[in-house]
């Protein structure tokens, strides 16, 4: 069950709310609304509210500290799911009533006695007719709130004509359950914040070309960036076993790797402990595994773990943007990239389609611009400048 379930059709409806546009509460074209808006949060609220005759609600949750901020939950009002403007109008309407009745813990009125809010949009008439259609299924509404030292919850609740006004017993039930609503909203929003934070970190680390992962003391991955996932799929240096733990494809390296991970993850925060291991594969290629202590955080819980970074031999595939920043012309960039891959100056000249004399001229100009006196230092300089970031193919390489 979700709080965005459709409202049940009612055979008994009010004749309609007739609005005078001059009496509408105008909201600016870009109103300040709650930044978090949820329709599908399955918090169990709708089931309880329905027992109280409430078939539509706008609920706000806010904390005065932390990173959660202000959030809005819409129960019912299925029509606004695909219309951001109507959702903004509903929230603005609720904000207006919450502000107007700021000192009252519970207040109720007939819907027809309150002027709905409208939002003025450039080039469009006020949407009071749309608001009227959203509200004409309801008869009574109430404002309820619960305030704690560092958090508050406010609700605008709607009942249909068949359910009538809010009784004292209904008011007491709602007042008793609002603290529980606040707890569930806090947990839900904190979880969503962690999910967004994890997604942002994943997007950031996926841009890093160096395989990077967080593993627990047993070698089970907590996080892997895209480069690490591809490395595990290739099974050339690291492999994930059936029990979920990560080991090395070379059996001689697996035990030292796991011992290093366990040591760094368990005592690394107490006694600074880093480890560096060489990983060889059957093709004679090698990588370096740097293992450093780290901490994994989820909500208020922290746990020690290890960060594993797999370092490959230095890259010399500099991007066109990097070489342009160094002052090299496109023709010089093409030559330099070929020269760094070639076995000789003549081979680089052939690869770029120039004569040996022109190649020597390019090499002289590149060394002068980069301040390099020996040819063998060029590769070292470029490899130090290339960041471990996944690069799209440059124009010069296409």
Q: What pLDDT, in 10s, does the model give residues 188-246?
A: 888 887 777 778 877 888 887 888 999 999 999 988 988 899 999 999 999 999 999 99
Question: Where do the DSSP E strands lie in the chain?
Answer: 25-27, 36-38, 54-63, 70-75, 106-110, 117-119, 140-148, 151-159, 211-215, 221-224, 238-240, 246-248, 275-280, 286-298, 301-311
Both 211 and 334 in one domain: the answer is no
d(CA 323, CA 361) in angstroms, rounded, equals 18
Q: Which of 55-64, 307-316, 338-347 has the lowest mean pLDDT?
A: 307-316
**Tokens 């709602």, located at residue:** 174
Tens digits of residue pLDDT in 323-371: 888 899 999 999 998 888 888 889 989 998 999 999 999 999 999 998 8
User: What domain range includes position 101?
Assistant: 21-199
Please report whether residue 179 resides in a domain: yes
- Together in a domain, 182 and 265: no
Residue 84 φ then ψ, to 5°: -60, -35
Helix (H) or strand (E) holding 195: helix 168-205
DSSP 154: E
Q: State the chain's mean pLDDT as an integer.
A: 78
Same domain assignment for residues 175 and 37: yes
Distance separating alpha carbons of residues 214 and 222, to the nearest angstrom: 5
The residue assigned the tokens 């943007």 is 321
Whether residue 128 has pLDDT greater than 50:
yes
CA–CA gap between residue 219 and residue 234 (Å, rounded):
18
Other C-beta atoms closer than 10 Å to the C-beta of 262 total 16
In a domain, 13, yes or no: no
Distance set, CA 32 to CA 27, 88, 103, 283, 324 (Å) = 9, 9, 22, 61, 44
CA-CA distance, 4 to 17, in Å (whole number)? 24
Whole-number Å distance between alpha carbons of 178 and 181:
5
Q: Is 11 among the domain residues?
A: no
- According to the per-residue pLDDT averaged within each range, which of 77-86, 168-177, 381-390 is highest? 168-177
Domain boundary (152, 167, 199) is at 199
**Cα distance between the two ends of the chain:** 53
| CATH assignment of the domain containing 52 | 3.30.450
Question: Residue 125 pLDDT more than 80?
Answer: no
141-172: pLDDT as tens digits: 999 999 998 899 999 999 999 999 999 999 99
Q: Which of 165, 199, 233 is the last residue of a domain?
A: 199
For residue 216 the two structure tokens come to 């627990």
């Amino acid at each position: 069950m979700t709080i965005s379930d459709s409202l049940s059709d009612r055979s008994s409806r009010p004749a309609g709310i007739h609005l005078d546009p001059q009496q509408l509460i105008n909201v600016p074209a870009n109103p300040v609304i709650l930044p978090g808006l949820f329709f599908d949060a399955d918090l169990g609220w709708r089931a309880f509210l329905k027992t109280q005759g409430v078939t539509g609600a706008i609920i706000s949750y806010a904390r005065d500290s932390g990173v959660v901020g202000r959030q809005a939950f819409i129960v019912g009002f299925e029509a606004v799911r695909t219309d951001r403007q109507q959702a903004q109008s509903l929230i603005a309407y609720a904000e207006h009533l919450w502000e107007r009745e700021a000192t009252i813990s519970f207040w109720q009125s007939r819907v027809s006695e309150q002027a709905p809010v409208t939002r003025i949009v450039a080039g469009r008439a006020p949407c009071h007719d749309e608001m009227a259609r959203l509200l004409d299924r309801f008869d009574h509404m109430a404002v309820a709130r619960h305030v704690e030292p560092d958090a508050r919850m406010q609700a605008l609740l709607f009942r249909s004509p068949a359910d009538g006004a809010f009784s004292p017993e209904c008011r007491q039930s709602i007042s008793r359950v609002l603290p529980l609503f606040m707890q569930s909203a806090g947990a839900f929003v904190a979880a969503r914040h962690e999910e967004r934070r994890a997604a942002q970190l994943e997007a950031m680390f996926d841009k890093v070309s160096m395989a990077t992962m967080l593993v627990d003391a047993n070698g089970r991955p907590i996080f892997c960036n895209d480069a690490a996932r591809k490395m595990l799929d290739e099974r050339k240096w690291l492999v994930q076993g059936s029990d979920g733990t990560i080991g090395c494809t070379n059996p001689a390296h697996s035990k030292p790797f796991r011992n290093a991970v366990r040591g760094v993850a368990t005592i690394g925060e107490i006694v600074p402990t880093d480890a560096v291991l060489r990983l060889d594969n059957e093709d004679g290629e090698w990588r370096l595994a740097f293992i450093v202590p780290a901490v994994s955080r989820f909500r208020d819980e922290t746990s020690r773990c290890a960060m594993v970074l797999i370092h490959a031999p230095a890259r010399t595939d500099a991007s066109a943007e990097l070489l342009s920043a160094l002052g090299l012309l496109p023709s010089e960039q093409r030559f330099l990239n070929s020269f760094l891959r070639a076995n000789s100056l003549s081979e680089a000249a052939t690869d770029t389609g120039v004569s040996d004399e022109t190649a020597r001229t390019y090499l002289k100009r590149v060394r002068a611009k980069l301040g390099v006196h020996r040819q063998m230092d060029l590769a070292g300089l470029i490899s130090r400048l290339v960041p471990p970031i996944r690069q799209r193919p440059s124009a010069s390489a296409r």
